[in-house]
Protein backbone atom coordinates (compact mmCIF):
# COMPACT_ATOMS: atom_id res chain seq x y z
CA UNK A 1 0.00 0.00 0.00
CA UNK A 2 2.29 2.75 -1.29
CA UNK A 3 0.27 5.84 -1.85
CA UNK A 4 1.12 9.39 -2.84
CA UNK A 5 -1.22 12.24 -1.91
CA UNK A 6 -1.06 15.08 -4.38
CA UNK A 7 -2.86 18.41 -4.22
CA UNK A 8 -2.59 22.03 -3.19
CA UNK A 9 -2.10 23.22 0.38
CA UNK A 10 -5.44 23.10 2.18
CA UNK A 11 -6.83 20.20 0.09
CA UNK A 12 -7.04 17.97 3.19
CA UNK A 13 -4.13 15.65 2.38
CA UNK A 14 -2.69 15.68 5.89
CA UNK A 15 -6.03 15.33 7.65
CA UNK A 16 -7.09 12.37 5.50
CA UNK A 17 -3.67 10.75 5.69
CA UNK A 18 -3.60 10.92 9.50
CA UNK A 19 -6.99 9.19 9.78
CA UNK A 20 -6.17 6.54 7.18
CA UNK A 21 -2.81 5.60 8.64
CA UNK A 22 -4.42 4.98 12.04
CA UNK A 23 -6.73 2.58 10.25
CA UNK A 24 -4.23 0.75 8.08
CA UNK A 25 -1.15 0.85 10.33
CA UNK A 26 1.15 2.33 7.75
CA UNK A 27 3.04 5.56 8.38
CA UNK A 28 1.95 8.98 7.21
CA UNK A 29 5.10 10.56 5.83
CA UNK A 30 4.64 14.30 5.53
CA UNK A 31 7.71 16.26 4.49
CA UNK A 32 6.01 19.41 5.83
CA UNK A 33 5.55 17.77 9.29
CA UNK A 34 9.17 16.53 9.32
CA UNK A 35 10.49 19.96 8.36
CA UNK A 36 8.25 21.76 10.89
CA UNK A 37 9.43 19.47 13.66
CA UNK A 38 13.06 20.15 12.73
CA UNK A 39 12.27 23.83 12.74
CA UNK A 40 10.54 23.63 16.17
CA UNK A 41 13.55 21.80 17.62
CA UNK A 42 15.98 24.34 16.20
CA UNK A 43 18.08 21.49 14.75
CA UNK A 44 20.69 22.23 12.03
CA UNK A 45 18.14 21.00 9.45
CA UNK A 46 15.51 23.29 10.95
CA UNK A 47 17.82 26.28 10.75
CA UNK A 48 18.56 25.52 7.10
CA UNK A 49 14.90 25.34 6.08
CA UNK A 50 13.29 27.99 8.29
CA UNK A 51 13.42 30.88 5.86
CA UNK A 52 12.10 28.84 2.91
CA UNK A 53 9.13 27.66 4.93
CA UNK A 54 8.32 31.00 6.49
CA UNK A 55 8.20 32.57 3.02
CA UNK A 56 6.17 29.75 1.47
CA UNK A 57 8.97 28.74 -0.90
CA UNK A 58 10.04 25.17 -1.61
CA UNK A 59 12.96 23.83 0.39
CA UNK A 60 15.77 22.72 -2.00
CA UNK A 61 15.19 19.33 -3.65
CA UNK A 62 18.41 17.77 -2.34
CA UNK A 63 17.37 18.38 1.28
CA UNK A 64 13.84 16.99 1.01
CA UNK A 65 14.83 14.07 -1.19
CA UNK A 66 17.44 13.00 1.36
CA UNK A 67 14.84 13.22 4.15
CA UNK A 68 12.43 11.03 2.20
CA UNK A 69 15.14 8.52 1.24
CA UNK A 70 16.08 8.09 4.91
CA UNK A 71 12.48 7.90 6.07
CA UNK A 72 11.50 5.25 3.51
CA UNK A 73 14.35 3.02 4.73
CA UNK A 74 12.80 2.78 8.19
CA UNK A 75 11.19 -0.47 9.19
CA UNK A 76 7.66 0.89 9.59
CA UNK A 77 7.60 1.95 5.93
CA UNK A 78 8.35 -1.52 4.58
CA UNK A 79 4.70 -2.53 4.27
CA UNK A 80 3.63 0.76 2.77
CA UNK A 81 3.10 4.44 3.46
CA UNK A 82 1.11 7.50 2.58
CA UNK A 83 3.43 10.16 1.25
CA UNK A 84 2.02 13.66 1.72
CA UNK A 85 3.70 16.80 0.35
CA UNK A 86 6.36 14.94 -1.64
CA UNK A 87 7.01 15.01 -4.55
CA UNK A 88 6.40 18.69 -5.21
CA UNK A 89 8.04 19.06 -8.61
CA UNK A 90 9.19 16.96 -11.55
CA UNK A 91 12.70 16.49 -10.23
CA UNK A 92 11.42 15.19 -6.87
CA UNK A 93 8.99 12.88 -8.69
CA UNK A 94 11.85 11.41 -10.73
CA UNK A 95 14.00 11.01 -7.61
CA UNK A 96 11.14 9.18 -5.91
CA UNK A 97 10.67 6.83 -8.89
CA UNK A 98 14.38 6.08 -8.75
CA UNK A 99 14.43 5.58 -4.98
CA UNK A 100 11.54 3.12 -5.14
CA UNK A 101 12.73 1.27 -8.22
CA UNK A 102 16.21 0.80 -6.68
CA UNK A 103 14.40 -1.01 -3.86
CA UNK A 104 12.39 -3.04 -6.42
CA UNK A 105 9.24 -1.08 -5.56
CA UNK A 106 6.82 1.39 -7.12
CA UNK A 107 3.97 3.60 -5.93
CA UNK A 108 0.61 1.81 -6.17
CA UNK A 109 -1.62 4.83 -6.42
CA UNK A 110 -1.48 8.60 -6.61
CA UNK A 111 -4.52 10.40 -5.23
CA UNK A 112 -5.06 13.91 -6.52
CA UNK A 113 -7.31 16.04 -4.29
CA UNK A 114 -9.02 18.35 -6.75
CA UNK A 115 -10.07 21.42 -4.75
CA UNK A 116 -11.45 24.86 -5.68
CA UNK A 117 -9.24 27.77 -4.68
CA UNK A 118 -11.89 29.42 -2.48
CA UNK A 119 -12.09 26.24 -0.38
CA UNK A 120 -8.30 26.20 0.00
CA UNK A 121 -8.16 29.79 1.17
CA UNK A 122 -11.04 29.29 3.62
CA UNK A 123 -9.46 26.16 5.07
CA UNK A 124 -5.98 27.59 5.42
CA UNK A 125 -7.25 30.79 7.01
CA UNK A 126 -9.12 28.81 9.70
CA UNK A 127 -6.52 26.11 10.27
CA UNK A 128 -5.02 25.66 13.72
CA UNK A 129 -2.13 23.38 14.66
CA UNK A 130 -0.95 22.09 17.99
CA UNK A 131 2.36 23.66 18.95
CA UNK A 132 3.38 20.52 20.79
CA UNK A 133 2.28 17.53 18.66
CA UNK A 134 1.41 19.11 15.31
CA UNK A 135 -2.23 17.84 15.20
CA UNK A 136 -4.46 19.83 12.81
CA UNK A 137 -7.77 21.51 13.63
CA UNK A 138 -10.06 24.01 11.97
CA UNK A 139 -12.00 26.80 13.65
CA UNK A 140 -15.26 25.70 11.97
CA UNK A 141 -14.79 22.27 10.33
CA UNK A 142 -12.73 20.44 12.98
CA UNK A 143 -12.95 22.47 16.18
CA UNK A 144 -11.09 21.19 19.26
CA UNK A 145 -13.21 20.15 22.27
CA UNK A 146 -11.80 23.03 24.31
CA UNK A 147 -11.08 26.24 22.46
CA UNK A 148 -7.37 26.75 21.84
CA UNK A 149 -6.35 23.40 23.37
CA UNK A 150 -5.29 20.18 21.60
CA UNK A 151 -7.65 17.23 22.22
CA UNK A 152 -4.74 14.81 22.03
CA UNK A 153 -1.94 16.30 24.12
CA UNK A 154 -3.45 19.45 25.72
CA UNK A 155 -0.89 21.53 23.81
CA UNK A 156 -1.58 25.12 22.78
CA UNK A 157 -3.23 25.64 19.36
CA UNK A 158 -1.86 28.30 17.06
CA UNK A 159 -1.98 29.43 13.43
CA UNK A 160 0.87 28.12 11.27
CA UNK A 161 3.20 30.93 10.35
CA UNK A 162 2.85 30.06 6.67
CA UNK A 163 -0.99 30.06 6.86
CA UNK A 164 -1.04 33.86 7.05
CA UNK A 165 -2.81 35.44 4.10
CA UNK A 166 0.30 36.78 2.32
CA UNK A 167 2.12 33.45 2.54
CA UNK A 168 -0.94 31.42 1.57
CA UNK A 169 -1.12 33.35 -1.69
CA UNK A 170 2.56 32.67 -2.33
CA UNK A 171 2.16 28.95 -1.55
CA UNK A 172 -0.76 28.64 -3.97
CA UNK A 173 1.33 30.28 -6.69
CA UNK A 174 4.26 27.96 -5.97
CA UNK A 175 1.85 25.03 -6.18
CA UNK A 176 0.58 26.17 -9.59
CA UNK A 177 4.08 26.80 -10.93
CA UNK A 178 5.90 23.78 -9.59
CA UNK A 179 3.54 21.04 -8.43
CA UNK A 180 0.33 21.15 -10.50
CA UNK A 181 2.15 19.65 -13.51
CA UNK A 182 2.64 16.41 -11.59
CA UNK A 183 -1.00 15.55 -12.24
CA UNK A 184 -0.05 14.97 -15.90
CA UNK A 185 3.16 13.19 -14.91
CA UNK A 186 1.19 10.61 -12.92
CA UNK A 187 -1.67 10.43 -15.41
CA UNK A 188 0.80 8.92 -17.85
CA UNK A 189 1.69 6.18 -15.39
CA UNK A 190 -2.04 5.32 -15.08
CA UNK A 191 -1.79 5.45 -11.29
CA UNK A 192 -3.63 8.69 -10.83
CA UNK A 193 -7.07 8.77 -9.22
CA UNK A 194 -8.93 12.04 -8.75
CA UNK A 195 -10.91 12.64 -5.55
CA UNK A 196 -12.74 15.84 -4.68
CA UNK A 197 -10.96 17.79 -1.95
CA UNK A 198 -14.15 19.77 -1.36
CA UNK A 199 -16.09 17.12 0.58
CA UNK A 200 -16.88 16.80 4.25
CA UNK A 201 -14.22 14.81 6.05
CA UNK A 202 -16.25 11.62 6.62
CA UNK A 203 -17.45 11.56 2.99
CA UNK A 204 -13.90 11.99 1.69
CA UNK A 205 -12.73 9.15 3.97
CA UNK A 206 -15.50 6.85 2.70
CA UNK A 207 -14.52 7.51 -0.89
CA UNK A 208 -10.82 6.91 -0.20
CA UNK A 209 -11.46 3.65 1.65
CA UNK A 210 -13.70 2.32 -1.12
CA UNK A 211 -11.09 3.32 -3.68
CA UNK A 212 -8.39 1.39 -1.80
CA UNK A 213 -10.70 -1.62 -1.58
CA UNK A 214 -11.43 -1.47 -5.29
CA UNK A 215 -7.72 -1.35 -6.04
CA UNK A 216 -7.09 -4.26 -3.60
CA UNK A 217 -4.73 -2.17 -1.53
CA UNK A 218 -6.17 -2.96 1.87
CA UNK A 219 -3.69 -4.64 4.29
CA UNK A 220 -5.88 -6.69 6.61
Nearest CA to 136 among 146, 121, 124, 120? Answer: 124
Which backbone phi and psi does 158 adopt, to 5 degrees?
-145, 170
Determine the Cα–Cα distance for residues 138 and 159; give it in Å rounded to an integer: 10
The yes or no reply on residue 86 touching ligand AMP (CB under 6 A) is yes
CA distances to 11, 13, 30, 52, 92 from 100, rounded to whole Å, are: 26, 21, 17, 27, 12
54 classed as catalytic: no
145 classed as catalytic: no
Site for ligand AMP in 138-167 (CB under 6 A): 162
Residue nearest ligand AMP (C-beta atom): 32
Among 15, 31, 115, 136, binds ligand AMP (CB under 6 A): 31
Q: Smallest gap, in angstroms, from Cβ of residue 112 to ligand AMP?
A: 15
Determine the Cα–Cα distance for residues 97 and 87; give it in Å rounded to an integer: 10
63 or 215: CB nearest ligand AMP: 63
Q: Smallest gap, in angstroms, from Cβ of residue 29 to ligand AMP?
A: 11
Q: Smallest gap, in angstroms, from Cβ of residue 45 to ligand AMP?
A: 12
Amino acid sequence: MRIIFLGPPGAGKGTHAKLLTEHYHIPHISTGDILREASRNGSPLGQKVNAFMREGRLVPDAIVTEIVAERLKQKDAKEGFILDGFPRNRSQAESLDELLSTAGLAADLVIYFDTPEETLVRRLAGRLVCKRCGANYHLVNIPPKVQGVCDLCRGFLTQREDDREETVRKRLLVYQDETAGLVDYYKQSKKLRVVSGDLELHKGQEILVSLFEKEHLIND
